[in-house]
Amino acid sequence: MTQQNLIESVQVQEVESALVELFELTLKNELTIYLFNGLDGGENNIYFPSSTILNGVYPLNEYIAIPIQLEGIETTSSGALARPTLSTVNFPTLAKAYEDDSDGVDDETTLFDILESQGIRSNQDLLGSRLTYRRTLLKYTFTSQDTATSSPPVEFPSTKLIIDRVAAEDNMLVQFELANPMDIEGVVLPSRVIVGRYCPWRYQGRFLYGDGGCSWPVDSSGVFFDTDNNRITNTGTEWNSGSEYNANDVVKTTDITTNYIQIWKAKRNVPADKNPAVNPFYWYRLDMCGKTLTSCKVRFQNTGTDGEFDTEVPLPFGGYPGSKTFK
């Protein structure tokens, strides 16, 4: 299956080849929320392959059906870069309305579940998040996560944007103004955006993605902390695809190739074969960075003795605490 198949399908305008718009919203702590404009044709979630291969397959991500629209994308060779507008429901106030358990069974991820676990309380909390806009045809999506695929996703070229500001909002809707990552308006030396309180580096990004300044090892050197900077003493046992788990159970996953270790906690009772890495409805990652200077300190300067830190160890913290505005 190649992109040529996609082009041919569009040209013949097949009835079953409806265009599907997919939105991947990556929050500051690197958790990604998967959304699509599904309410135009039904309220069921859909599944689409990741663009990154993992252990020989392309994991299927679950996209939550929600009213969402992106306008204003354009490519120009001169002048200022376009600043598209993302329109959607008011996340914090209306997300709960889409928590559908009318059949008595919680069998789909809802936006409310995800926002609740991440402490998103206002639209301002979403500023700085990264948005990846993907498009494909309906026939190249899946209706179940039980289907594994060894083929890359069939899709149009994607677009990456940054949520820059809240343009308008009311009780029902919100509009975000988006910025192109290539937009250099306001850039000052040393060509980095000045961020005060929070670190902009991707957690463990140096080893996982080859970019950013966070050099915390992928195996965490066997020492794990949560977003509140508390040391995780219960790292659980290795996740087993054939096992069922109860709410609040803790497991860990280890990539056999990179030795990338992640700690997960169950939100609710978990059926068998629900991989924590691709099932945010059932699991959330426990060992995440709080993105503050304290978060950096407890990791890189921790001596293993409570209350004692080796302040001679430099911190790779990517923010500029002294630039924070005080009133």
CA distance 175 to 160: 17
Per residue in 46-62, pLDDT (tens digit) is: 889 888 877 777 888 88
Q: Choose from 30-34, 53-57, 296-300, 308-312 the range with maximum mean pLDDT.
A: 296-300
Per residue in 241-261, pLDDT (tens digit) is: 999 999 999 999 998 888 999
| pLDDT recorded at residue 327 | 47
More confident residue, 26 or 192: 26
Residue 138 has pLDDT above 60, yes or no: yes
Residue 86 has pLDDT above 80, yes or no: yes
Q: Could you tell me where the DSSP H helices lie in 237-278?
A: none
| pLDDT recorded at residue 18 | 80
| pLDDT recorded at residue 75 | 63
Per residue in 150-162, pLDDT (tens digit) is: 788 889 888 889 8
H-helix or E-strand containing 177?
strand 173-179
Residues, the chain: 327
| pLDDT recorded at residue 148 | 63
Structure tokens at 6: 């996609």
Residue 137 has pLDDT above 50, yes or no: yes
Residue 167 has pLDDT above 80, yes or no: yes
C-alpha 296, offset from chain centre: 21
Task: Report DSSP state, residue 109.
Answer: -
Pairing of strands 32-36, 237-238: unpaired
Q: Cβ–Cβ contacts within 10 Å for residue 57, how many? A: 13
Q: How far is CA 120 from CA 98, 123, 126, in A?
A: 16, 8, 8
More confident residue, 203 or 66: 203
Residue 147 has pLDDT above 70, yes or no: no
Q: What are phi and psi of 112, to 5 degrees?
A: -60, -45
Mean pLDDT check: name the lowest of 96-105, 163-172, 223-232, 296-305.
96-105
- The percent of residues in the chain predicted with pLDDT above 70, rounded, is 76
| pLDDT recorded at residue 1 | 47
Q: What's the average model confidence in pLDDT over 214-227?
A: 92
Q: How far is CA 231 from CA 165, 227, 239, 267, 288, in A?
A: 34, 10, 20, 20, 11
Q: What is the mean pLDDT of the chain?
A: 80
| pLDDT recorded at residue 218 | 92
Sequence-separated (6 or more) residues with CB below 8 Å from residue 148 = 57, 60
Per residue in 102-117, pLDDT (tens digit) is: 444 444 556 666 676 6
60 in Cβ contact with 148 (< 8 Å)? yes
| pLDDT recorded at residue 150 | 75
Q: What's the average model confidence in pLDDT over 291-311?
A: 86
Q: How far is CA 189 from CA 180, 193, 194, 213, in A?
A: 19, 9, 10, 17
Residue 15 has pLDDT above 50, yes or no: no
Per residue in 170-209, pLDDT (tens digit) is: 888 899 999 887 664 555 545 666 777 788 888 998 888 7
Sequence-separated (6 or more) residues with CB below 8 Å from residue 230 = none
Q: What's the average model confidence in pLDDT over 305-312?
A: 80
| pLDDT recorded at residue 190 | 56
